Amino acid sequence: MSFTPDLIAELEVLALFNLDSSQEGIKIHANASPSLIAAAKRLHEKQLTDQPDGGYLTSLGHDAVESVQLLLNVLKSPQPA
């Protein structure tokens, strides 16, 4: 499985969520890039968010964001020489 542009856009949207507060959602505005708007809609269709323009994470979405954040932390950490 490879990272397609659609999957990368979905990962970018998931990375916008703050897991420190379950009361904090996101809103993808109409003037955002078309790829982010479409990604937010796909995440809603996959039942990761409660609204097609972002909203709040579902339980499955929360798990997905945890995984995205873990992956980002691993890839951003300095590598030993």
* Tens digits of residue pLDDT in 9-64: 999 999 999 999 878 999 999 999 999 999 999 999 999 999 999 999 999 999 99
Q: Give the pLDDT band of residue 81 (cuts 50, 70, 90).
A: low
> Would you state the pLDDT for residue 39?
98
Other C-beta atoms within 10 Å of 68: how many?
19
What count of Cα atoms within 13 Å lies in the side-chain half-sphere of residue 9? 16
> Would you state the pLDDT for residue 80?
73
Q: 26 pairs with which residues across the strands?
A: 55
Other C-beta atoms within 10 Å of 50: how many?
13
Q: 51 pairs with which residues across the strands?
A: 54
